Amino acid sequence: MYSNFQHFLQTELDNIKAAGTFKEERIIVAPQQAEIKLADGSKVLNFCMNNYLGLSNSEELKNAAKEAMDTHGFGMSSVRFICGTQDLHKELEKKIAHFFGTEDTILYAAAFDANGGVFEPLMGPEDAIISDSLNHASIIDGVRLCKAQRYRYKNADMVDLEKQLKLSQAQRFRLIVTDGVFSMDGNVAPMDKILELANKYDAMIMVDESHSAGVVGTTGRGVTELFDMKSKVEIITGTLGKAFGGAIGGFTTGKKEIIAMLRQRSRPYLFSNSIPPMVAAAGIRMFDMVDKTNTLQDKLHANTDYFMNKMKSVGFDIKPTKSAICAVMLYDAKLAQDFAANLLKEGIYVIGFSFPVVPNGQARIRVQLSAAHETKHLDKCIAAFTKVGKEMDVIK
Ligand SMILES: *Cc1c(COP(=O)(O)O)cnc(C)c1O
């Protein structure tokens, strides 16, 4: 029985390789941080991690995790509503709500689960979900699991969003869904205009702050801070796996009735394990840290400005952004792959992205800045880009 299927899979895998889109894992033999050691012993500077606040190897978070391991054990062996809720889980939910200025929060094992479990309990066939075309895969999957009518608008295109809102007026409830920051261009969703349209066409708003929380806005509260619209969106989803320590975990935070309904009906919450106590405890410590001081957020913003300005001044074509994602546009797929390979030889680890991850002819290298980077790291990265850019005739 298996031999036919095996042959089929092998052919498909060979096709992926032939198309040049086969994903390999690069093995890191050190903690996640600015300077990492690879399995071959080489040391490189890491510019492709989502470790925006530099907390993935934080002593303070590691200590909080170790302490919680002693006081609260290793694992929960339960979903939340049976025997998987400790004081730590409730406290973390409160901290997240406090951070975003929302009413209540529900934790998940990942943001993928938060998005997977948010639509189906809330929206039915009488309702409409109006989703940005570049939203994260987990939003797309979550919408698929839900019976609501689906509308899609072109990325951050407010003319198209208005058109879809008009088309959806017959439905009972409307929910506009967008990423706060889109991961490929690093562009920020135009939340002010989305809010205007939501008010005009009687729609609610959900924003996924996975790439924007901790990053965007003066104190890192995300796009609702940047656009000064706290408590004006009904639903925020986010991850603990990026800026907020990088371990694991996701959340939905927002209006209390919405969160209450998710606790009753959201399948990834009802049927999947609680996050481990050490992750909850480190999360609590993390929110205390970013509440008390703005040092990390300030450093990230300073690093981002420094890097973007220098890269523009040496002649690179950079997508404008308020996030910590810097898309260095090269347009050609092979050029982007070779450019990234040459940068690795210079000790800079970045990823080249091309079709189908980004539109055809829009190949680029994505650089992700972090509060973990020091100026010397940024300078080394810019020098390597400049050297390779000149060698490959990208800049003069
Ligand atoms: C990373 C990401 C997720 C998934 O987060 P996990 O917690 O790793 O599952 C969801 N949405 C967006 C927009 C993301 O960038």
Q: 291-315, pLDDT tens digit by residue?
A: 999 999 999 999 999 999 999 999 9
| Ligand 1 binding pocket mutation candidate from 210, 252, 275, 366 (most atoms within 8 A of CB) | 210
Output the pLDDT for position 194: 98
- Mean of pLDDT values over 139-159: 98
Mean local confidence (pLDDT), 142-163 = 98
Of 211, 190, 227, the closest CA to residue 304 belongs to 211
Pocket residues for ligand 1 (CB within 6 Å)? 110-112, 115, 136, 138, 179, 183, 208, 210-211, 239, 241, 250
Percent of the chain past pLDDT 70, that is, above it, reads 100
State residue 389's pLDDT score.
98
Percentage of the chain modeled with pLDDT above 90: 97
Q: At residue 138, what are phi and psi to the nearest 5 degrees?
A: -70, -30
Å from CA of 29 to ligand 1 middle? 24
What is the radius of gyration, based on Cα positions, of the chain? 22
77-114, pLDDT tens digit by residue? 999 999 999 999 999 999 999 999 999 999 999 999 99
Instruction: Beginning with the edge strand found earlier in the chain, give each strand of the sheet holding 104-108 in spatial order.
Output: 104-108, 250-254, 235-239, 204-208, 174-179, 128-132, 149-153
pLDDT at 22: 86
Q: What's residue 41's pLDDT?
A: 93
DSSP state of 349: E
Determine the average pLDDT of the residues in 193-217. 98
Ligand 1 atom closest to the Cα of residue 112 is: 9
Per residue in 229-239, pLDDT (tens digit) is 989 999 999 99
> The pTM is what?
0.97
Please list, in sequence order, all residues whose beta carbon lies within 8 angstroms of the beta carbon of residue 99, skipping any fewer than 6 positions away. 221, 287, 290, 291
Q: Give the residue whose CA is nearest to atom 2 of ligand 1.
A: 210
Q: What is the pLDDT of residues 6-21, one digit of tens each?
A: 999 999 999 999 987 8
Strand partners, 250: 108, 239
Residue type, 185: D
> pLDDT tens for residues 268-287?
999 999 999 999 999 999 99
Nearest to 273 by CA among 256, 253, 249: 249
Q: Ligand 1, residues 206, 239, 269, 325: which to mutate, most atoms within 8 A of Cβ?
A: 239
- Mean pLDDT score of the chain, rounded to an integer? 97
Q: Which positions are annotated as active-site residues?
A: 183, 211, 242
- Residue 200: what pLDDT? 98
CA angle 176, 357, 188 (to 5 degrees): 40
> pLDDT at residue 161 above 90?
yes
Strands (E), 224-324: 235-239, 250-254
Report whether CATH 3.40.50.300 matches the domain 18-47+294-391: no
Measure the CA–CA gap between 171 and 169, rounded to whole angstroms. Answer: 5
Tell me how far the alpha carbon of residue 242 lies from the centroid of ligand 1, in angstroms. 8
Q: How far is the CA of 395 from the centre of ligand 1 (A)?
A: 34
How far is it, in rounded angstroms, from Cα 263 to Cα 253? 12
Q: What is the pLDDT of residue 21?
A: 81
Give CA–CA dist 354/374, Å, rounded: 29
Fold (CATH) for 59-292: Aspartate Aminotransferase; domain 2 (3.40.640)
Measure the CA–CA gap between 58 and 56, rounded to whole angstroms.
6
- State in Å: Cα 274 to ligand 1 middle: 18
Burial 151-188 (b: 16+ CB within 10 A, else e): bbbebbeeebbbebbeebeebebbbbbbbbbbbbbbbb
* Domains of the chain, residue spans: 18-47+294-391, 59-292
Q: Euclidean distance between the first and final Cα of the chain, in Å?
A: 59
**pLDDT at residue 393, as a whole number:** 96
Q: Please give the Cα distance from 392 to 352 (Å, whole number).
A: 15
Q: Which residues pair with residue 153 across a beta bridge?
A: 132
Give the closest residue (by CA) to ligand 1 atom 12.
210
- C-alpha 369/C-alpha 307 separation (Å) is 8
pLDDT given for residue 367 in this prediction? 98
Atom number, ligand 1, closest to the C-alpha of residue 211:
15
Residue 238 Cα to ligand 1 middle (Å): 7
Query: For a pocket test of ligand 1, which of 49, 112, 133, 212 has the largest count of ligand atoms closer than 8 A to its C-beta?
Result: 112
The H or E element that residue 336 is part of is helix 333-345
CA 295 to centroid of chain Cα atoms: 21
**Phi, then psi, of 121 in degrees rounded to 5:** -75, -15
pLDDT at 19: 84
Among candidates 225, 232, 235, which has minimal Cα distance to 199?
232
